[in-house]
Amino acid sequence: MTNTLLIKNGHIVDPAQKLDQKADILIENGKISKIGKSLPPPSKAKIIDAKGKIVSPGFIDIHVHLREPGREDKETLRTASKAAAKGGITTVVGMPNTNPIADNQTVIEFVLSKAKRESLINIQACGSITKGEKGQEIAEIWEMKQSGAIAVSDDGFDIQNLDVYRKALQYCKTHDMPIISHTEDVNLAKDGQMHEGTVSTLLGLKGIPACAEDAATARIITLVEDVDHRMHFTHVSSKGAIDMIKLAQHKHLPVTADTTPHHFSLTDEAVANYDTNAKVNPPLRSEDHRQAILKGLKDGTLSCIVTDHAPHLWTEKQREFQSAPAGIVGFETMLSLIITNLVNTKVLTLSEAIAKITINPAKTLSLPDIGTLKPGSRADITIFDPKATWTVDKTKFESKGMNTPFHGMKLYGVVTDTFVKGKQVLQNGKICSTT
Ligand SMILES: [Zn+2]
């Protein structure tokens, strides 16, 4: 098998190097070797023609639910990795709310070693902040870091006891462990089914007020200011939270944030017919919040985009709204939602958009060697056609989950080829059979 690859005639967009031009890329032994115009093909090199397409660093998604261990009926590391490869995503960070919860070395080691054997892409693990994500006792954070966990989060919940949270921040600062915050006041959000507003009133569903996210954001920023350790706010959905994060960044606090494709694409109107596929936490909010998200993406307050890929069983989403689980699958629609709803609408340039799924998340969690096509970096590469269109068909997903509110929508942007460490895992939109 050849381990030299030449990607020719593509348009390279690599925000980390401020590259936005036609060029060729040479890959040798799993690493980027050279970028230049009309590179001569070395003997025995495999040639890929990327004419008319964008060549980008492989996408990085730092907030996903892989469901293994515990819910292999919803997704496995293998099926998740196929879905990610299909979406051009070459690195994901799995959240710890599996069964059992990843609050100790054993679970982290299980996930990472199984991923090494079965995954087509690079899977990273995030441990929990507290034992069992119960918000009471700090988990084995240092031990999990030794086993390869790259961050901690109590995703799905938020630590309500600020004394516990402050100690966790101090502990993580000592061990230089990034924290990802799912930000929610549980009392204000209790039993809520969707965003609190006109639509929730019309539907007669209990709402989650935006202040549940705003209040929790404020108290966490207070702790960040006190401890001075970095905090990454994830799936940010409310205007108030964005305003506070922006203010904290102006004060040079070590605060970063992301949002999701569903939060910048949809509003609570998507729930109007009780569509459980639009049930997600935090909830899809009203148009004024969506506009604040677009502004936050444009001005950089929200530096990353994550899918919060959350596969559920069809039978679970068939339940009545109140008892259906929250979550949307996101890998296979991420790029298209970014192209259709951010780039084609001129909210972001293509380069600004790609930064939010490549170099920015790599920097946020200090992931080395990825997120750029700089010579010497790992050859994780995504090739896509931004002008091509397709209609979302959930029955054709590589993911086991079909819970998407985007089924049937016509979107722009098709990923054609994905490479991980120089190895092709997606070719012309199909998972490579040898992987
Ligand atoms: Zn969450």
pLDDT score of 63 more than 70: yes
Question: Ligand 1 centre from 282 Cα, in Å?
Answer: 7
Token pair in block for residue 19: 């590259």
Question: Ligand 1 centre from 5 Cα, in Å?
Answer: 39
Position 32 in a domain: yes
Query: CA–CA separation, 379 vs 28, rounded Å?
Result: 8
Question: Ligand 1 centre from 233 Cα, in Å?
Answer: 10
Beta-carbon contacts of residue 174 (< 8 Å; ≥ 6 apart)? none
Q: Residue 107 carries which DSSP code?
A: H
- Amino acid present at 245: I
pLDDT in tens, 89-142: 999 999 999 999 999 999 999 999 999 999 999 999 999 999 999 999 999 999
pLDDT in tens, 45-62: 999 999 999 999 999 999
Torsion of CA 223, 225, 226, 228, to 10 degrees: 100
Question: Ligand 1 centre from 181 Cα, in Å?
Answer: 8
> Is the link from the previous residue into 311 a cis peptide, with omega within 30 of 0?
no
Q: For residue 259, list its beta bridge partners.
A: 305
pLDDT in tens, 10-23: 999 999 999 999 99
pLDDT score of 435 more than 80: no
CATH of residue 51: 2.30.40.10
Please identify every residue whose CB atom is under 5 Å from ligand 1, which is an ion.
Answer: 155, 182
Same domain, 199 and 234: yes
In order of 1, 270, 401, the CA distances from 40 in angstroms are 20, 51, 44
CB atoms near residue 222 (< 10 Å): 13
> Is the link from the previous residue into 209 a cis peptide, with omega within 30 of 0?
no
Position 382 in a domain: yes
Token pair in block for residue 61: 């998604």
pLDDT score of 88 more than 90: yes
b/e per residue 390-415 (b: at least 16 CB within 10 A): bebebeebbbbbbbbbbeeeebbbbb
Query: CA–CA separation, 219 vs 223, rounded Å?
Result: 7
Token pair in block for residue 75: 């997704």
Position 369 in a domain: no
Question: Tokens 């390279």 correspond to what residue?
Answer: 12
In order of 42, 85, 214, 248, 382, the CA distances from 357 in angstroms are 31, 14, 25, 23, 11
Same domain, 384 and 290: no
Handedness of CA 272, 274, 280, 282 (dihedral sign): positive
Beta-carbon contacts of residue 116 (< 8 Å; ≥ 6 apart)? none
In the chain, the percentage of residues whose pLDDT exceeds 70 is 99
Question: Ligand 1 centre from 97 Cα, in Å?
Answer: 10
Query: CA–CA separation, 26 vs 5, rounded Å?
Result: 6
Same domain, 51 and 63: no
- Amino acid present at 139: A
Question: Ligand 1 centre from 182 Cα, in Å?
Answer: 5
Question: Ligand 1 centre from 120 Cα, in Å?
Answer: 25
Question: Ligand 1 centre from 321 Cα, in Å?
Answer: 19
Same domain, 162 and 120: yes
CB atoms near residue 11 (< 10 Å): 19
The phi, psi pair for 141, rounded to 5°, reads -65, -45
Same domain, 407 and 312: no
Position 63 in a domain: yes
Please give the average per-residue pLDDT across 311-326, as a whole number. 94
Question: Ligand 1 centre from 311 Cα, in Å?
Answer: 13
pLDDT score of 1 more than 80: no
Same domain, 317 and 421: no
Report helix angle 77-86 to 105-118, nearest 10. 60
Q: For residue 20, list its beta bridge partners.
A: 13
Same domain, 422 and 295: no
* pLDDT for position 3: 84
Residue 394: pLDDT band (50, 70, 90) is: very high
* pLDDT for position 321: 94
Query: CA–CA separation, 25 vs 381, rounded Å?
Result: 10
* pLDDT for position 6: 97
**SS3 label, residue 236:** coil
Same domain, 116 and 237: yes
Structural domains in the chain (count): 2
The phi, psi pair for 24, rounded to 5°, reads -105, 155
Query: CA–CA separation, 331 vs 390, rounded Å?
Result: 15
Same domain, 426 and 336: no
* pLDDT for position 185: 97
Q: Looking at the chain, how many residues does it have?
A: 435
Same domain, 92 and 36: no
Provide the residue range defining the domain that includes 136: 59-364
Q: For residue 130, list its beta bridge partners.
A: 138
In the chain, the percentage of residues whose pLDDT exceeds 90 is 98
Q: Do residues 221 and 267 touch, judged by C-beta distance below 8 A?
A: no
Catalytic: which of 14, 155, 308, 380? 308
Rg (CA), the chain: 21
Question: Ligand 1 centre from 320 Cα, in Å?
Answer: 22
Same domain, 45 and 121: no
Q: What's this model's pTM, rounded to 2 decimal places?
A: 0.98
pLDDT in tens, 344-385: 999 999 999 999 999 999 999 999 999 999 999 999 999 999
Residue 168: pLDDT band (50, 70, 90) is: very high
Question: Ligand 1 centre from 327 Cα, in Å?
Answer: 9
Query: CA–CA separation, 343 vs 337, rounded Å?
Result: 9
Position 110 in a domain: yes
Reported as half-sphere exposure (CB side, CA atoms, 13 A), residue 308 has a value of 27
Question: Ligand 1 centre from 216 Cα, in Å?
Answer: 13
Beta-carbon contacts of residue 345 (< 8 Å; ≥ 6 apart)? none
The reply to whether 308 belongs to the active site is yes
Average pLDDT, the chain: 97
Question: Ligand 1 centre from 21 Cα, in Å?
Answer: 37
Domain boundary among the residues 341, 364, 387 is at: 364
Question: Ligand 1 centre from 180 Cα, in Å?
Answer: 9
The phi, psi pair for 112, rounded to 5°, reads -70, -40
Token pair in block for residue 152: 């901690």
pLDDT in tens, 250-282: 999 999 999 999 999 999 999 999 999 999 999
Residue 2: pLDDT band (50, 70, 90) is: low
